[in-house]
Structures are given as C-alpha cells and as structure tokens.
Chains A and B, each alone.
Chain A
Amino acid sequence: MNFDPRFSGRKFASVGTRPIRPDGIDKVTGRARYGADFNMAGQLVGRVLRSPHAHARIVKIDTSKAEKLAGVKAVITAADLPDLTDGDAAMYDVLDNCMARTKALYDGHAVAAVAAIDARTARQALKLIEVEYELLPHVTDVDEAAKHTAPLINDAIFTEGLEEKPVKPSNVTKRSQFGHGDVHQGFGQADFIVERSFKTEQTHQGYIEPHACVANFSSDGTADLWVCTQGHFVYRQHCAQLLGMEASKLRVTSSEIGGGFGGKTHVWAEPVALALSRKAGRPVKLVMTRDEVFRASGPTSATSIDVKIGARKDGTITAAEATLRYSCGPYAGSWAEIGAMTAFACYKLDNVKTVGYEVLVNRPKTAAYRAPSAPMAAFAVESAVDELAKKIGMDPVDFRIKNAAQEGTRSSYGPVYGPIGIGPTLEAVKSHPHMKAPLGKNQGRGMACGFWFNFGGQTCTDLNIGMDGSVSLAVGTVDVGGSRASLSLVAAEELGIDYSQVKAIVADTSSLGYNDMTDGSRGTFSSSMATISAARNAILILRERAAQMWDIAVDDVVWEKGHAIAKGEKHGNLGKLSLKEIAVESGKTGGPIAGHSELVADGAGVSFATHICDIEVDPDTGAARVIRYTVVQDAGKAVHPTYVEGQYQGGAAQGIGWALNEEYIYGKDGRLQNAGFLDYRIPVCSDLPMIDTQILEIPNPNHPYGVRGVGETSIVPPLAAIANAVSNAAGVRMTHIPMSPPRILAAIEAEREWSK
C-alpha cells in the first residue's frame, strides 16, 4: 500500500485535544510496573562487581571463594561473555563496557557479577571475588586527555579524519569538519569580532528509575528479558548478538520506563543478567543502585569549545568558527561531530567552519542525553552571539532575527532548510510580555536559541479493530512521557472515532516488527506516521467490508467521520455504516479487520526553540536563582498539547540544573566523588519557578499532520540563556558550566579586583 506522508492541511477533531492518558490510572495508584517491579518464580538476585580504579590492567580474577559461598548460583567474568562481535568495533565496545575484558577503563567499570538467592548473599559474594589490578596512569579531563603527553587509554587508536595519517596513537579518536565559504575572508569583513573559550562539565541524565531487568534463559536456548529501556528491539538485537542467539529467540518486553532521556538507549546490565541466568539456569533480576547508575551508566560529554564570530556594524554576521572537543568516555564516539553540526544551525551564514575532536577519557562511556551534544555547543555559540550583539550595540533578539536561518538557507552542517521555526520563535520572543517585564535589583534577563535535528527511523505499528468496534493500537516505540495518549488521538483522528474507543499499548519484540528506539524525538513523530498509515490501511478494509455489506463497488464507498458512506446518486437510499456496525459483521464478511504499517519515517522536521530567563544573583555568595522562565518552541503540530508543554518544561528544567549545579566531580585518584542525588544536584521543586510555554505550529511538510519531534530541543537553549542572564545580572561573562556559586562568586570577585 502506498502511503503518502505529505502534510495536508485539515481540521482536527481529536488531535490537539488534551484527554487523560491511557496508562494514567495505573501510574497514580502504584500499579504500573517498572523495571524493578517484575518478579519470576525462582528468581535470583544479580549484583555487579565494579572497578574502584580509573585505569587498571586486570591481572587476575579469582572467583573460587565466591562460588563456594552457600546460596551463590553463578559467578561470571568476561570469560562468560566471549567476543562474538565479529569485527564490529562499536559492538565490541558495548561488550567491553558491559564487562571489562583486559583493562578496567573507569571507576565503576564492571569486572565480574554474581547471582545468588538473596541480596545479602550476593553482596557477600562480591566481597569474596579477588581481583588483582595493575594500576595505570589515568586521565579524566577532556583538555588534558587531548594532549600528546596524556596517558593513552587505547594504544590501538589513531586519530581518524586528519589530512596526514598519524604515526602515533592518540586519545583523540576522530576529527570532523563542517561548513562552507571562507571564514578567513569573512573575518576580514567584520567590524567586530568576539573570540572566547568555554568549558562544560559532564552531567547525567538523572532519571529517577535505576536500570533494572529480569532475565530468564531457558535450557532450550530461548530467553525472555523484562527491562526498562527506550528501545526493546535494539536491546534484543544487541543482547542476542553479544550472547550468540538468534534475535527471534529472545523476547524483550519493555516495562514502564522511569525516565531515560537518552540514557536507556544502550545495554549495560542486560547481557550480564542474561549470562548469569544462562549459567545459573534460573531467572535473574539485576537492579542498579543509584551509585552504580552514576558511576557506570550514561553521562554526557564534558566539553571544551573555542568560538569566534565576526559581524559588520549593521549586525550581519560575516564569519563564524568553532573548535569543539567532546569527551567520549573510554570508547570512540561521534559526540563532537554532532556538536559541530548543531553549533551554528540557527543562523544564515556565508562563511562558517566547525571542527570537532572526539576525546577518550577514563570516565563512563558517554551516552546520549536529550539532543546530545547540542546544549554545550549552543552554550558557547549563544554566549558569543550575545556578547557580539552587545559589542555592536544591538538588541540581542534583533541581532539574532537579522541573522536567523530561513527556508532555503543552507545550514551550517550542509542541508538546505525547508520551512523552519527559528525566525518565528524569535519574533514570538520579541513580542512576549516576559521581555518587557521589569527586573529588580541583582536581576538580569537572558535569552538564547537552540536547534535539534530530530529523527524518524524504522517503525512498525498494528491497529486491530475488535468486533465491538473498539480499537487496539500496538506500537513498538517505548512511551517515555505520554505517547500512548498522543498515538490514540492520532488513531481516533484518522478513523474518525472517539479517543475513548482506542487503547494503545507498547508491544513486545515478538509481537511486532522491528522499531528503532524512542530517541531523536521520534516517538510521536514516527509512530504517529505509522499509526496514520495503519489506520488508512484499516479504512481500506472497512470500505471493502461496507461495500460487501451493501453489495456495491468499493470505489463507491468513502470514509468520513468514522462512517462508510456510499457515494453517488444511485446509492442515495443507503444509510451510513459506522465503524462499529462494520466490525460487528466482520466475522461474516471476511474475518478480523486490521491495519498494519511498516515504514521508515523519513522527513523528521528540524526543530528550533528560543528561551527567555530571568536570574537573580546574590553578589555576596554567588547564588543564582531562576525567577522567571519562558520556552517558545515549534512543535509542527502539537498532538496532545499538555504533553508537548511537559516536554518543553522538562527539558528547560534539566537545562537549568546543568547550567547551575550539576556536574561529575572526579578526585585526583580518578574516582567519582558525587555518585548520588545528595551531591549530584538536580533541581528540586523549590529551585524552580513555573515554566511558561508557547507552542508554535509551523507544519512539517513531511508528516500528514505536520508533526515535528518535540522532546529534545528544549534542553538546548537553557545553558546559554542562563549564562546570558547571569552576565546581565552580575556583570560577569561566565564561560564554565555549571555556573555554581563558587564559580560565580569567584568571577564577581575577580571583576571587583580588576575594576579597582
């Protein structure tokens, strides 16, 4: 069936309303089952032994004492997860990260695991495992690691992407470059130039639910995995590959997920739990502690970024350049590359050049975190843009409007833009009452823009119509924040029925074809497209059945507002047939009625946002407090506006935490010092004001309803918006994130000294 994904302007009946989510009651009554809420008969408790060292060769692991402890049913090391990756370097890194093979590469790296009858026995068993380490010099700072003199993390890595092939190994795994024009010439035309260096510390996604799974490996070679994940199909593939299974023999069920934000997109504990279950012959439940979550799972990159931007007196940017260094943890990644692509994506530039360097450090393997890599680049660029506007003497919003990318602009990372929202978000900010509200003593206002690509990807959806006319919608994209409500609205819209008639679920990997994971802001974008496609396929069958019931040609039957209607004067005496009336007869007209869809959801529309922020700084302590915050973002079409607002607010709050207090703090010994919610300071309720939102709807031409992804862009502008506000409140330009009170106070004191 040919599916036409193009946008067609239409009046919506269901889409754009705000009904209660289908999984709501379970979640407010405590009945919803998350990763750690599932149990099996005979289940064992799994625990992981982790390296206390930042960098060490594993000389020997002796598990014999642990194995002899009563109640211990399995002990595994890397030997129990043999390398089956067959030259796939990325998968080998995943394997090595799950269980260190020859070297422990960071504080928290798994080196062994046990399965025992209860938690106490498992903890005791870990203490009985003897690991002999040979300590190696370590490096945790991104700039230090990039130096030629730094300790090498992997001596088989030579920098890719250099003009000359390097002869010496390096912690810099790759150089990437984007841009067009001639920046040298562009800077020559500039009347004003701002050039600055910035640094951002590593943060964690900070989901409240620790990673958790239950693995059950059967003696017939099949297995079940219950797990909190953003992508159970991806987990199935990775686990199957690492354990040497056929994918179809492993059934993965995604539990309710207690937050992911990119951090639950790749496997850590799941292959370990499966290997323990295989060895013990019993189900194994493996739940990370909060300490393990911080030490061993998904942080984002720490960065070091140099930016140079030049402009003419009239406010036209003539050239823009950035060099971006991103830490990847101990395994190669493409984080700086993404940062280099997004850095100047908001602007229309004749001359632009960005260069990214991926840097290995002895820290946990970097994972995606909501618009990964973009917030740091935006912090550096938007700080410099603000400073440049000031230098020129232009209003920062007007300066950005003058240089904003438009439809037809060649983006700094290559493609030419279609209809986009950067200009409209800036215009909306310019006329927003927040911009005109008075400020008090020690208060300052800042604003900044942000960009994210969005992603579409492989999607498979089933829509089944019951004989009572109710509709079951089975999707394969994990619901991270209300997408079952949005997708039910879309099914209701397309079929022309009421939302209450649709029930959406997330199907397991054996019940549906492959789906990419819920990342890249694709959950609602791609699955709504597949739902529309599935619904249209179902409508075709509904029309056929109606035609059969009426005994007329199917071409004479149209579908309108949930009913089959016979078209043409010759059928004038035929009434409408509702979906329910057709469904009731389905047993007699050819059996069950369903619509399926398998597609690659191309054409995810790029997304832009502009944020406004008011900050109050205590000049005596350096404490900064957000007193007002506004998010303006393009949603394409907001399917369930309340959940769109929620994405805007949640991203802003995470950005505020990142900007002000969140950071990984390593000691000189290379150990993480703040692996808990006490000292890794995510915002609490009393830290934040209400977060106002304004949804703009500039339709995505590549989606039938105009939908764009909305999940990620909201975390991109806050770092810079807050830095610009602090600069206006306290008269100091902050170049190091987080802007913690000691950093702000030190900057204020330095400024006082300097102006004496």
Chain B
Amino acid sequence: MAGIAVSTTINGDAVEYLCQPDETLLDVLRDRLGLTGAKEGCGTGDCGACSIILDDRLVCSCLVLGAEAEGRRVETIEGMAHGDTLHPLQQKFLEHAALQCGICTPGFLIAAKDLLAKNPDPTEEEIRFGLAGNLCRCTGYDKIVRAVQDAAIVMKGA
C-alpha cells in the first residue's frame, strides 16, 4: 500500500504527513503526529473520547480517515488553551472537579467548546443532550454539566 500525502491545518499550523488509506485521523494524530490528547476509548464512535473539530464540525476522529483531512482545518485539545492561558471551559473543569480519571476530559472539552460556539446560552437539558456522545464513567456527569454552565456564563461576559 502506498502512503497518501496529506496537507492540512492542525490547531492553526500547516502540517503535512503521509498516511495509509485505512488509517484513521485518530491514529495519525496519536501515532504519527504525537498529539495524544485525543483518546481511543472504543474506535467505533460510541464514546467521544477522540472528539475533534473538523472544519467547524464536531466529529469523532476515529471515524474519519487520515486522508480525508486534506485541505481541511483540524482543532484538537492541544490547541484549546492560548499558550499559558486556559480556555474558560478548561478553567471551569478544574474548578468544579469535572474530571476524576480525566481520560474523557479532552473529548468533553472539545464537545463542550463546539456546543457553546453554536449555543452560547444552553439549558441544562441542551447541555446534557449536546454532550450525550461523550461517555464519562467517573463523575455521573453532574460536575461536568455544572462546569459547562459556569463556563457559558463566563464566556458570555467576555
């Protein structure tokens, strides 16, 4: 199998890589580019731990081929903070202890960022359904929902 040359933009930076036709974008990010923030919890789109934003759409990177990223914009957890300054969602996740083991956290943060970008003032129900594609086994979601609610308030004020 010949490698496919891909030119793409990841977290604002131009990136080029070679990948195999059956290689997922998640595998490319983790194994070829060293961006291990996206996690593989299932590999079948059921857990959301590998969530990224692809051209302003929230997707599971395990359900995207690496070859499909050609010419597109990829945002991952590694690009969420601005240098030393955490994104308000990251800050609120810490303050509310919205993570225990933390394996689902990058996926939740990306999904929550997408949610608030599209709906800056969500109800609790909208948050819960908006984040239903991300599984967390530690928290019972309570503190995650509260962190997103709190971050929404901060971001509206900003």
Binding site for B on A (CB under 8 A): 18, 20-21, 23-25, 27-34, 36-37, 119-120, 205-210, 256-261, 287, 289-290, 480-482, 642-643, 645-646, 649-650, 652-654, 676-678, 682-686, 688, 690-691
Contact = CB atoms under 8 A, between A and B. Distances in A.
B47 interface: yes
A34 B129 CA distance: 28
A650 B100 CA distance: 9
Contacts of B105: 27-28
B28 interface: no
A717 to B, nearest CB: 14
Interface in B73-108: 76-78, 80-81, 86, 90, 93-97, 99-106
Contacts of B137: 205-208, 259, 261, 650, 653-654, 682
B90 to A, nearest CB: 4
Listed residue (A20, A31, A207, A685) with the most chain B CB atoms within 10 angstroms of its CB = A685
Contact of B76 (A30, A33, A682, A685): A30
A23 B103 CA distance: 12
8 contacts: A29-B86, A290-B41, A481-B138, A645-B97, A646-B100, A676-B46, A677-B42, A677-B44
B140 A688 contact: yes
Contacts of A690: 124, 142, 145-146
A684 B36 contact: no
Interface string B137-156: 11111111110000000000
A139 B133 CA distance: 36
Contacts of A31: 37, 78
Given A28-B99, A677-B135, A691 B42 contact: no
Contacts of B27: 119
Given A30-B76, A210-B41, A480 B94 contact: no
Contacts of A260: 101
B10 interface: no
B36 to A, nearest CB: 4
Interface in B35-94: 35-44, 46-47, 49, 76-78, 80-81, 86, 90, 93-94
A28 B137 CA distance: 17
A649 B143 contact: yes
A30 B77 contact: yes
B40 A643 contact: no
- Which are the 6 A-B pairs with shortest beta-carbon distances? A30-B37, A258-B103, A653-B140, A481-B100, A27-B102, A30-B77
Contacts of A678: 44, 46
What's the dominant secondary structure at chain A's contact region? loop
B103 A30 contact: no
A290 B86 contact: no
B132 interface: yes
Contacts of A29: 37, 77-78, 80-81, 86, 90
Given A28-B86, A685-B131, 7 more contacts: A28-B94, A30-B78, A207-B101, A207-B137, A481-B100, A654-B140, A684-B133
Contacts of A33: 36
A290 B44 CA distance: 9
Nearest to B103: A258
B54 to A, nearest CB: 17
Contacts of B140: 649-650, 652-654, 683, 688, 691
Interface string B111-144: 0000000000000110111011111111111111
Given A649-B142, A686-B132, A21 B36 contact: no
Contact of B101 (A18, A24, A259, A653): A259
Contacts of B104: 208, 258
Contact of A685 (B42, B95, B101, B132): B132
Interface in B1-55: 20, 22, 27, 30, 35-44, 46-47, 49
Contacts of A24: 94, 99
Nearest to A631: B140
Given A30-B78, A482-B100, A691-B140, A685 B145 contact: yes
